[in-house]
Structure 1
Amino acid sequence: MQAPGMDIRSAQYLVAVVDHGSVTAAAVALHISQPSLSQAIRNLERTLGSALFDRTARGLIPTAAGAAVADAARKLLTDVAKAETAVAAVIALQSGELAIAVQSDLAVDAVADMAGQLHRTAPGIVFSTTAASSAREVRALVRSGRCELGFLERDLADGTSDNLREIETRAQETVLSIPPALAVGLPDPLPRASISALPMIVDAPSNRRSYPLGAEWELVDIVVEVPDRLAVREMVGHGGGAALLPRSIAEQDAPGTSIRSLHPPIIRRTSIVFRDGPLSPAAAALVSNLRTAHSPSTNSLPNGDNLSGSNSIP
């Protein structure tokens, strides 16, 4: 509790005298004159109606009352510092930019969710995203400083050898999105090998003609290649063929399409990465939300494959 009649300056003066043991040393530390500090301490004693120090040959020794008031003064100064920090954080979030590199073949639900939460508390922040064709490109954009954060597929074999910090976000399940006419008779879950007999639609950033999905099978009946994910969804919705998509995206197309889980499942684990060191207020707030909402876990999705790099599925 704040002592009656004690303001922030009086609290600073009192704590300095207690810590340094003399008015002279405290005045030097506070960059004020010794007579001014002495007068301030006398005024505080007069206001409180009690002596705060015993004047001895060894210097100033706090009385019982002085020690109690000094404790209250420290609490006051701590509370003021916390308030100033909170205000500075609010002011810092009122403007600014946050650039995020996003692996383009992932569903961006985790990023969109965290960005939405941050935008509700900091509407002045301008978000920009840069599409990257691979996790490696995302990491390069973050390392170079072009983007402060990166959202990518987590490669368990890579670790963090590139000195980027990493927070795991929601895992993504890949499913088969298929026109109802082609889905007739297909079980759910669908064995992976069955996909080989289906006409497939893919997005083709690298114009690949073969899409490996594991050691024993691959997509070979590719009937349409399109430039982006939106075009894939449209093609499936109009009956052009089937596609492998993140579940959250495939479910947006229902009821115009059917969904089949895969057996064994394909699970893509995702992360937010950023450079070591201080983050901007906006990035720090988003990362803090991620730590709260998506605490790292292991084996949360058993029996699934984590496909990375060239084996990733859009």
Structure 2
Amino acid sequence: MESRHVEYFLATVDNDGFALAAEALGVTKPSLSKGLRNLERDLGAELFHRVGRGLVLSAAGKAFVGPARQIVRDLVAAESSFVDVSGLPRGRLDICASAHVAEGPVTKLIGSFRTQYPGVVVRLADLRPVDVIGSLIRDGHCEIAFSHLPFGAAGLTTRALGFHEYWLVVPPNAEIDWREPFPLDDLPKIPVVGLPKESSARTVIEKALQAAGSRTVMSAVVEQREAVGAFVVQGIGMSFMERTNAERAAVGGARICPLDPPITAPYGVIYDEARLSPAGRAFLDTLAP
């Protein structure tokens, strides 16, 4: 198995097909296609189903994504050439984060890291509620995961970084007795636009409402987190949103304010110390202790 063929495979996965993958790698599409065929021959398995002019990952292909990422990271760690002229790491860093945790501070952390280490390409993948973080890290899908805490898994290290705070977000023309902060035990009688039950954010919010003795009814369940603010602005209901998202909804006309008592959720990073690449270690070194 040739390492460049593994890189061809990952580029094709990450760019959703031959054309953009070949452009990203600086190779021709025939060369890319031939490399993938050779990789499939070496592995003895079909990694993609060719559907018309498109590609769909096969079961074997899906299973190979994590190990392929680990192979590339191991090569980076083994080759001293993967540093720039200043001795800084380069290559790529694979991170998984839930949509709720990736907002605000986490985005700034990645931006700060990229400023210090411009030779490292960061891949930020979505961490879905059904994903098992320990398996994603051990199987090589990512080096580092951002998640709400608490989290525990044997052999993994967890480092707390901060808290997300959830604010009340109300439709622009709602006629209510406005207070700041808004008492959690005396919320407006407006139905709620919320996320699916498996969302960690919804779990945190519902526990806080239950503790305050507040009862709410749902007007809409929205899987696309980015659409919640638009639903509120259109008057479909009120919501509880992470502060960064709430401030975006306010730009569209929603009224927002903190809650009393506040609803907060701690978040942090999870990683396997033994599997970190130079880029992964550098990223963790940039985080506040």
Question: TM-score by structure 1 length?
Answer: 0.56
Q: Which has the larger radius of gyration?
A: 1
113, 120, 129: which is aligned to 1:125? Answer: 120
Going from structure 1 to structure 2, the CA distance change for 1:269 and 1:222 (only over 3 Å counts) comes to: same
Give the counterpart letter for 1:280 in structure 2. S
Going from structure 1 to structure 2, the CA distance change for 1:149 and 1:195 (only over 3 Å counts) comes to: same
Give the counterpart letter for 2:268 in structure 1. S
160, 163, 170: which is aligned to 2:155? Answer: 163
Please report the RMSD computed on the Cα atoms of aligned residues, expressed in angstroms. Answer: 3.1
Offset of residue 231 of structure 1: 0.8
Give the counterpart letter for 2:168 in structure 1. L
91, 94, 100: which is aligned to 1:96? Answer: 91
The 3-state SS of whatever aligns with 2:226 is: helix
1:1-314 matches, within 5 Å, as 89-90=83-84, 95-134=90-129, 137-155=132-150, 158=151, 160-182=152-174, 184-195=176-187, 197-204=189-196, 206=198, 212-214=206-208, 215-216=210-211, 217=213, 220-255=216-251, 256-290=253-287, 294-295=288-289
Question: TM-score by structure 2 length?
Answer: 0.61
Residues 197-250 of structure 1: CA distance to partner in whole angstroms, max 9, x if unpaired? 22111122759x997324444664111122211111211222222111111221
What is the alpha-carbon distance in structure 2 between the residues aligned to residue 206 and residue 116 of structure 1? 29
The answer for the alignment partner of 2:4 in structure 1 is: none
What is the alpha-carbon distance in structure 2 between the residues aligned to residue 96 and residue 143 of structure 1? 20
Offset of residue 114 of structure 1: 1.8
Going from structure 1 to structure 2, the CA distance change for 1:257 and 1:166 (only over 3 Å counts) comes to: same
Contact 1:236 1:243 in 2 (8 A): yes
Residues 247-302 of structure 1: CA distance to partner in whole angstroms, max 9, x if unpaired? 12211222411112112111111101110225212211211111xxx33xxxxxxx
Contact 1:202 1:226 in 2 (8 A): yes
Unpaired runs of 5+ residues, structure 1, are: 1-85, 296-314
Going from structure 1 to structure 2, the CA distance change for 1:228 and 1:98 (only over 3 Å counts) comes to: same
Contact 1:154 1:269 in 2 (8 A): yes
Give the counterpart letter for 2:113 in structure 1. L
Going from structure 1 to structure 2, the CA distance change for 1:148 and 1:97 (only over 3 Å counts) comes to: same
The 3-state SS of whatever aligns with 2:105 is: helix
The 3-state SS of whatever aligns with 2:173 is: helix
Going from structure 1 to structure 2, the CA distance change for 1:183 and 1:163 (only over 3 Å counts) comes to: farther
Give the counterpart letter for 1:273 in structure 2. I
Give the counterpart letter for 2:207 in structure 1. L
What is the alpha-carbon distance in structure 2 between the residues aligned to residue 143 and residue 183 of structure 1? 52
Unpaired runs of 5+ residues, structure 2, are: 1-79
The 3-state SS of whatever aligns with 2:185 is: helix
The answer for the alignment partner of 2:26 in structure 1 is: none
Contact 2:233 2:254 in 1 (8 A): yes
Residues 47-102 of structure 1: CA distance to partner in whole angstroms, max 9, x if unpaired? xxxxxxxxxxxxxxxxxxxxxxxxxxxxxxxxxxxxxxx99743675642211111
Offset of residue 194 of structure 1: 2.9
The answer for the alignment partner of 1:80 in structure 2 is: none
What is the alpha-carbon distance in structure 2 between the residues aligned to residue 273 and residue 167 of structure 1? 7
